[in-house]
Amino acid sequence: MPTVELGAENFESTVTDNEIVLVDFWASWCGPCRQFGPIYDAASAEHPEIVFGKVDTEAEQALAGAANITSIPTLMAFKKGNLVFSQPGALPAPALKQVIDAVVELDIDKALAEQAPESGE
């Protein structure tokens, strides 16, 4: 599946309506972003079951601000609408594969249950 351009109008629905969503926050003037782009696009082609989105931080400054993006590129991964990974910096292909594999393997329901404070009432 080709990467999807994400903006304020479709970011939340894309993240919440899909099992796994990876988001690349980037800008055209950013050298590391341009290096990471082809790696990200190749991973997108290899994993059609995952939504790969891109947010142009220049065009979507409010969205980038809301996501607390302070450095680009930044890769975020969401599973069932929950942020499970966020890291700035261009990843080499093997590291991106590790992130994807970890997100796929993550039992998000179990992780969320373990995070929930136990109610003693």
Q: Which residues are known to be catalytic?
A: 30, 33
Beta-bridged to residue 76, according to DSSP, are 23, 86
Q: Which amino acid makes up residue 83?
A: L
CA 107 to CA 95: how far, in whole Å?
20
Q: In this structure, are strands 51-56 and 74-79 parallel, antiparallel, or unpaired? A: unpaired
CA 101 to CA 97: how far, in whole Å?
6
Q: In the structure encoding, which two tokens stand for residue 57, read together?
A: 């931080």
